[in-house]
Amino acid sequence: MSAGSPLATNLCGIALKNPVIAASGTFGYGVEFEKLVDLNALGGLVVKGLSREPIEGNPEPRLFETRAGMINSVGLQNVGVRAFVRDKLPHLAKFQTAVFANVFGYSTEDYTEVVRVLEDAPGIAAYELNVSCPNTRHGGIYFSSDPVLLAEVVTAVRLAAHRPLIVKLSPNVASIEPLAKAAEAAGADAISLVNTFIALAVDARAGRPRIGAGFGGLSGPAIKPIALRLVYQAAQALKIPVVGMGGIASGEDAAEFLIAGATAVEVGTATFWDPAAPVRIARELGAFLKEQKIAHVSELVGTLRCG
């Protein structure tokens, strides 16, 4: 899609062919999908979370399909940032799509070290900070649930990063606005939301959790109405762009998030049953614009008014 395409989008100064991005955690490092998906047709892709050192992840089973979604507890398994830069990132250079690096850690220093390593690597459009992690320096309080801790890590990464910085917020909070505003004030160029909802599935016959680690993160169609509400509330509170996600499985789903205030969307769980879902959803979004006689996708953004 050319710059003149009805779907062409600009996110934090990054030109995207369309506003549909493959989400972190469900699309590997991107290269695993190249035989299944035309990666050049994506608006962008977010690689799975990167940490200072490799992480093996949580005990199995890690996934459980619910009636309207999925619970996962993969445990942020990854090869570590240095192995990613050495072994994975070079393979993405041949594709004409924006690559976003998802970053996480258990202390502010973890985040800044991962970004420091990535700063020297070519081919990355922006960073997405996964702040849904416990801060081990502050008694395990989650960065995503405390505006002060959130501002601390965003400020530190902002000083280390020369690329755009997107902060991925958790829905597991009483109110999203204080966290969104804290991220914006600390230097975030955009926020993305929502991450998964903490959930539990029980095997009644065995009398134990269906996930090896006990709790997991609920995603998929079940969370979409709540995700839409949170995206709307965050977009109303902020001046920076919002990237929306949570149960998007069709072009019309994507349109709903844009109308609620998102500039772009991420597609995650849908790729489990349809690896090419982000490309299909972008195509369906284009058909929706044509059907509704809307000249450009930007005309949808933030048009919802509640109350």
Distance CA 270, CA 256 (A): 16
**SS3 for 142?**
strand
Number of neighbouring beta carbons within 10 Å of residue 36: 11
Q: Do residues 133 and 142 lie in contact, with contact meaning Cβ atoms separated by under 8 Å?
A: yes
Both structure tokens of 11 = 């996110």
Active-site residues, by number, are 133
Show contacts of 198-206: CB within 8 Å, 24+ apart.
Answer: 198/172, 199/71, 200/71, 201/64, 201/66, 201/71
Residue type, 212: G
Both structure tokens of 13 = 């100064």
**Beta pairing, strands 69-72 & 98-103:** unpaired
**Beta pairing, strands 202-203 & 208-209:** antiparallel
Q: Do residues 148 and 104 lie in contact, with contact meaning Cβ atoms separated by under 8 Å?
A: no
Burial 119-149 (b: 16+ CB within 10 A, else e): eeeeebbbbbbbbbbebeeeeeebbbbbbeb
Residue 151 parent element (H or E) = helix 147-160
**SS3 for 35?**
coil
Q: Do residues 105 and 137 lie in contact, with contact meaning Cβ atoms separated by under 8 Å?
A: no
